[in-house]
């Protein structure tokens, strides 16, 4: 990896595979649509698309100039643990996962749903790879990872009790 960049050959491969899966999912849904009847799937899909959009916007807003598609921190970046990052460690990955499932359900497309599952598995692996890099770079990452879930946002603080 170049000391001035975060673009290792392995990091570039992660990004290439990511975009192949994303574009395949985007195209598969309208090509093989309406494979099951019902109105529940599109309603759930719309909710997932909205949730995914919210997660993505919240993540981009807080991450700012630290954002990169590569699974390695940018040189000179800092560990972000505020905003949405106080609730979920990988809101941008969670966003794309939610958007993928939402898109597949909106179109009621089995191939797109299968690609959404593959995308979720891929982002789980990419997050684990990235977290190894983050642990190498930021001493405080282990504590952060113990407190904050990887993909599903913590909606209530640990001290909040539901009566």
pLDDT of residue 51: 97
Cα 44 to chain centroid, rounded: 18
* Cβ 89 vs Cβ 23: under 8 Å: no
* Cβ 138 vs Cβ 74: under 8 Å: no
pLDDT of residue 22: 97
Instruction: Give 48-83 pLDDT, tens digit per residue.
Output: 999 999 999 999 999 999 999 999 999 999 999 999
Instruction: Give 102-146 pLDDT, tens digit per residue.
Output: 999 999 999 999 999 999 999 999 999 999 999 999 999 999 999
- Does 154 score more than 70 pLDDT? no
**What value does the mean pLDDT take over residues 85-108?**
97
**Ranges 16-30, 52-66, 147-161: which has the least confidence:** 147-161
The chain-wide mean pLDDT, for the chain, equals: 91
In this prediction the pTM is 0.89
96, with CB counted inside 10 A (0-12, 13-18, 19+), is buried
Count of H-run helices and E-run strands, the chain: 5, 0
* Cβ 47 vs Cβ 105: under 8 Å: no
**What percentage of the chain exceeds 90 in pLDDT?**
82
Q: Tokens in use for 72?
A: 């390695």
* Cβ 129 vs Cβ 71: under 8 Å: yes
Q: Tokens in use for 126?
A: 């990419």
């Amino acid at each position: 990896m170049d000391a001035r960049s975060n673009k290792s050959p392995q990091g570039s491969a992660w990004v290439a595979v990511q975009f192949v899966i994303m574009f395949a999912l985007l195209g598969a849904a309208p090509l093989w649509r309406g494979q099951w009847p019902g109105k529940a799937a599109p309603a759930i899909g719309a909710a997932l698309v909205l949730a995914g959009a919210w997660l993505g916007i919240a993540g981009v807003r807080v991450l700012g100039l630290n954002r990169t598609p590569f699974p390695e921190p940018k040189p000179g970046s800092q560990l972000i643990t505020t905003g949405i990052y106080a609730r979920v460690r990988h809101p941008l990955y969670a966003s794309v996962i939610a958007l993928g499932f939402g898109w597949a359900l909106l179109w009621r497309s089995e191939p797109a749903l299968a690609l959404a599952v593959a995308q979720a598995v891929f982002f789980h692996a990419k997050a684990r790879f990235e977290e190894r890099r983050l642990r190498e770079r930021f001493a405080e990452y282990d504590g952060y990872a113990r407190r904050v879930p990887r993909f599903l946002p913590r909606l209530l603080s640990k001290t909040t009790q539901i009566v």
